[in-house]
Amino acid sequence: MNKVAIVGTGQTKFSKENKNTEKLLFESANNCIRSISNYDSNKIEGVLVSTNDNSKYLGAILSETIGIEPKISHSIEHLCSSGTNAIISAYSYIASGLLDTVLVSGADSATNPGQVLEWDKSRGNFEHPIYWASMLTKSHKRKFQTTEEELAIVSAKNHKQAMDNPFAYSNEPRTISEVMNSKQITDDLRVLDCSRSCSGSSSILLASEEKAKAISDQPIWIIGIGQKTTAASFTKNILEEIKSTRISADLAYKMAKIESKDIDVAEVHDAFSVCELMAISELGIAPKDKSGEFVRDLFNTENRMINPRGGLIGAGHPLGATGISQTIEITNQLQDKSEKRQISNAKTGLIHNMSAAGTSSSIMVLEN
């Protein structure tokens, strides 16, 4: 298999206002191409678009808008993890030798579909993600004695970290007490425990080893990939775990020939506060019954190792763009370009992106 690297990145600011998906895609794709000095965009051989938007033919539309004629262009949808699924598809095109450079652009508008999976009959009239999140949270509290304060710290930490992310939808700080006193949605979930649907777009350019070395003096290599889908129905989950994440992590670590202790920095899918606690446990970063304590220590010591850009809670969650933004953050960290968010001496980073209550997970390991 050919080696694959990230050689360019571009983003738009996330916001709560509705925006046109095609325009968002163009803006981040344009920023991505401009991030590479003297790059001839006509050399891009593939264009993949990740989105939950119902618009058709977006791969071709984006290609025409940026003025290129790629060999392959199409869209990829996989709910909240559409972005990493698109990157991994692009990786496969390059690793197989079919293409040598692929632009991956993700975008969604704040009211795009994708939060509710109509197919899932088992959710009854409790379709919205807040209900499965309440089940996971209640179960985590019951099983691991997780406290309301520990859950609030996840949100306070990620909001604080998002203050230094110029692309986050909000740069407002939120104290632990503000999170704990925010509007109660259910007995187990407050509004500040939830990520918000946003408008926004992110783009990334992937290249084969030969092209990467010609394009970039700081290519970031994708060295591990793990993916697993266990179901589509939320109710087939075991509440205390995210099996798809655990399996994906094992696969990614094996491919990268690393262990969880080798991870210097990670973007994890904190769709809700409890998801960050569950994710870091399934990734092997913290024990299941110590995940709350682990995050408290990060917060108290201002260690930004988990979700330095603010995660989904702090930065916002434009579904199709999220996985790509997570990947851009880890890329920037490994290039030592994250400014105030920078983790010192980061060599190995991880991206964890998932869909529909963790019924599907995608994990990538990057290295500089």
Partner 1 sequence: MKFFEKQLEQGVFQICYCKNCNNTIWPPKEICHMCHEKTDWKKSANIGKIIEFSRSESTYFGLIEIDDGIRVLGDISSRSIPEIGQVVKMSVSFNSKPYYSFIVENN
Nearer Cβ to partner 1 (120/264): 120
Question: Judged by CB under 8 A, which of 1, 38, 124, 301 binds partner 1?
Answer: 124
Nearer Cβ to partner 1 (132/299): 132
Stretch that binds partner 1, among 31-39, 100-108, 232-240, 343-351 (CB under 8 A): 232-240
Q: CA 357, 265, 293 angle in degrees (round to 5)?
A: 65
Stretch that binds partner 1, among 227-235, 248-256, 307-315, 347-355 (CB under 8 A): 227-235
Q: What is the 3-state secondary structure (H, E, C) of the chain?
A: CCCEEEEEEEECCCECCCCCHHHHHHHHHHHHHHCCCCCCHHHCCEEEEECCCCCCCHHHHHHHHCCCCCCEEEEECECECHHHHHHHHHHHHHHCCCCCEEEEEEEECCCCCCCCCCCCHHHCCCCCHHHHHHHHHHHHHHHHCCCHHHHHHHHHHHHHHHCCCCCCCCCCCCCHHHHHCCCEEECCEEHHHECCECEEEEEEEEEEHHHHHHHCCCCEEEEEEEEEECCCCHHHCCCCCCHHHHHHHHHHHHHHCCCHHHCCEEECCCCEHHHHHHHHHHCCCCCHHHHHHHHHHHHHCCCCCECCCCHHHHHCECHHHHHHHHHHHHHHHHCCCCHHHCCCCCCEEEEEEEEHHHCEEEEEEEEC
Grouping H, G, I as helix, E, B as strand and the rest as coil, residue 309 is: coil
Nearer Cβ to partner 1 (163/232): 232
Nearer Cβ to partner 1 (163/185): 185
> 146-185: which residues touch partner 1 (CB under 8 A)?
185
CB of 274 to partner 1, least distance (A): 12
Nearer Cβ to partner 1 (131/221): 131
Nearer Cβ to partner 1 (14/144): 144
CB of 116 to partner 1, least distance (A): 10
CB of 140 to partner 1, least distance (A): 10
Question: Judged by CB under 8 A, which of 39, 91, 132, 299 binds partner 1?
Answer: 132
Stretch that binds partner 1, among 8-16, 129-137, 150-158, 341-349 (CB under 8 A): 129-137
CB of 194 to partner 1, least distance (A): 14
Residues 51/19, Cβ–Cβ less than 8 Å:
no
Question: Judged by CB under 8 A, which of 3, 13, 43, 138 binds partner 1?
Answer: 138
CB of 352 to partner 1, least distance (A): 24
Report CA torsion sign: 309, 298, 158, 87.
positive
Task: Show the site string, 234-273: x = touches partner 1 by CB under 8 A, - = not.
Answer: xxx--x----------------------------------
How many residues sit close enough to partner 1 to count as binding (CB under 8 A)?
Answer: 28
Stretch that binds partner 1, among 72-80, 137-145, 146-154, 275-283 (CB under 8 A): 137-145
Is 344 a binder of partner 1 (CB under 8 A)? no
Residues 41/68, Cβ–Cβ less than 8 Å:
yes
Nearer Cβ to partner 1 (57/119): 119
CB of 124 to partner 1, least distance (A): 4
The Cα–Cα gap between 216 and 35 comes to 10
- The residues of the shown chain that bind partner 1, judged by CB under 8 A, are 118-127, 131-132, 134-135, 137-139, 142, 185-189, 233-236, 239
